[in-house]
Structure 1
Amino acid sequence: MVGNELEAAVKAPDLIGRGFTAPAVNQRYVGDITYLPVGERGFLYLATVIDLHSRRLAGWAIADHMRTDLIIDALTAARRTRGSLAGAIFHSEHGAQYTSKAFAAACAAAGVRQSMSKVGSSADNALAESFNATFKRETLQGRRAFTDERDARLTSFRWLAPLQHRPSPFSARTAVPDHLRADPRKISYHPTSRINPVSKFRG
């Protein structure tokens, strides 16, 4: 978070009212950021965009920071996945990244209407919270932290990548391709990356 993001807060109404469903795909999404503990003191951060109809993971991004670029990358990945997000609602909490002018501009450019939960109410974004809890439970498997950044990125990729093709419950068991296992730094999840797994899903 940076100071100008806090000063330039963009408020949006709650357009879903804890109604975590949608009549069709590409109409309503929820998203959140969660931290990934790495080693003794380090962290990576995961941002997600989840379709409320199919429960599929439409977009995601991992970085070593929580700046607004992280959630913009996740939204852009979802936009690439679906071809267009025009007319869709994106629901989030009131974090500084989501209320920033930069993210509001990214939503406007994508034709997305922002929706926000009440301040301090995790129940208003319960599906995203549930996703994060399941992700960390199944990837960490009782460990306090990932061994190192390589472990965090590879384990996250192994769990997240198949969710472009599968609805909830959020669980997956699949192998990482050899070319990614050889160099985990290539797993950047940037929406312009040629290996971004979310770009493979169309549906």
Structure 2
Amino acid sequence: MQKVNEYTELPRFRNGLRKEGFRVSLKRVQRLMRRANLRSIIVKKYRPQSNQGPVENRKNVLAQDFTATKINQKWVADITYIHTIKEGWCYLASVMDLCTRKIVGYSFSRSMTTELALRALDNSCVNQNPEPGLILHTDLGSQYTSHEFEKANQEKQIVHSFSKKGCPYDNACIESFHATLKKEEIHQTTYKDFDEARRALFQYIEGWYNRARIHSSLDYLTPQEAEDKFLKTA
């Protein structure tokens, strides 16, 4: 029996047909997969050891309100782990616009430092040029609570919002993106080194996720199509 990635192929087949005017249910796609002797791949997630040290709660401005009426109104950010054979664990910091679900900036590094989070934020601001008052929501990781990161937010006139300690639901959208990234790309291959992983991440984020992967929450548009639509009506 041939294996395929359920998270990539089922939504892609079903929603691609819907976008072209055909109506098809998920159950029908699953039934056709069984007839074709295809089954999905289930991958166990890597869960890093949690930080057991004391963490001071900070203000949660976002308060799990993931809706946005315009682009560059609310961003969410997080860091995830990616393994390579030669260099061990590497780290991806991503920033998502909640209005379009677009990854507006990211940074990839061999070490999980404040500089990693700062580069992802800087790249996002260069790409999007947000107006003052943008809300940026993160967890309470040391990279995001550092003096350097807070100073960067103040200089850019960004309102920093924080998840409660141990509550991933407060940052569910970026957590979901990283889970999707791992199911569709990272857990389906093995990266030889940092550079190979970096190239794969660029191809996934810029070539697939932002510009080709449609979202039901965006009325089956891609993140880039959703952003273009908002820009035309602004």
Give the match's secondary structure for 2:161. strand
Structure 2 unmatched runs, 5+? 1-52, 216-226
The residue that corresponds to 1:155 in the other structure is 200
Give the match's secondary structure for 2:144. coil
The residue that corresponds to 2:133 in the other structure is 87
Q: How many angstroms apart in 2 are the aligned matches of 1:92 and 1:168?
A: 25
Q: Which has the higher contact order (CA 8 A, sep 6+)?
A: 1
Deviation at 1:160, TM superposition (A): 1.1
In structure 1, which of residues 104, 113, 117 is the aligned counterpart of residue 159 of structure 2? 113
* Further displaced range: 78-87 or 103-112: 78-87
Q: Is the 8 A contact 1:38 1:44 kept in 2?
A: yes
Structure 1 unmatched runs, 5+? 1-5, 170-200
TM-score by length of 1: 0.73
Q: Is the 8 A contact 1:56 1:166 kept in 2?
A: no
The residue that corresponds to 2:143 in the other structure is 97
Q: How many angstroms apart in 2 are the aligned matches of 1:134 and 1:101?
A: 31
Q: How many angstroms apart in 1 are the aligned matches of 2:178 and 2:153?
A: 22
Task: Give identity over the alignment, percent.
Answer: 32
Q: How many angstroms apart in 1 are the aligned matches of 2:201 and 2:63?
A: 30
Deviation at 1:56, TM superposition (A): 0.8
Task: Describe how 1:1-203 pairs up with structure 2 within 5 A.
Answer: 12-39=58-85, 42-143=88-189, 145-162=190-207, 163-165=209-211, 169=215
Deviation at 1:41, TM superposition (A): 6.2
Deviation at 1:150, TM superposition (A): 2.6
TM-score by length of 2: 0.64
Q: How many angstroms apart in 1 are the aligned matches of 2:155 and 2:184?
A: 35
* Further displaced range: 114-123 or 156-165: 156-165
Give the match's secondary structure for 1:106. helix
Give the match's secondary structure for 2:121. helix
The 3 A distance-change label for structure 1 pair 139 and 117 is same
The residue that corresponds to 1:183 in the other structure is none
Q: How many angstroms apart in 2 are the aligned matches of 1:104 and 1:158?
A: 31
The 3 A distance-change label for structure 1 pair 119 and 106 is same
Q: Is the 8 A contact 1:27 1:88 kept in 2?
A: yes
CA-to-partner distance for each residue in 1:5-42, whole Å, 9 max, x for gaps? x99x8863111111112111111000000011111660
The 3 A distance-change label for structure 1 pair 167 and 98 is farther
Q: How many angstroms apart in 1 are the aligned matches of 2:185 and 2:56?
A: 34
Give the match's secondary structure for 1:127. helix
Deviation at 1:96, TM superposition (A): 0.5
Q: Is the 8 A contact 2:110 2:194 kept in 1?
A: no
Q: Is the 8 A contact 1:79 1:85 kept in 2?
A: no
Q: Is the 8 A contact 1:91 1:117 kept in 2?
A: yes
Q: How many angstroms apart in 2 are the aligned matches of 1:118 and 1:168?
A: 31
Q: How many angstroms apart in 1 are the aligned matches of 2:68 and 2:56?
A: 25
Structure with the bigger percentage of helix: 2
Q: Is the 8 A contact 2:87 2:193 kept in 1?
A: no
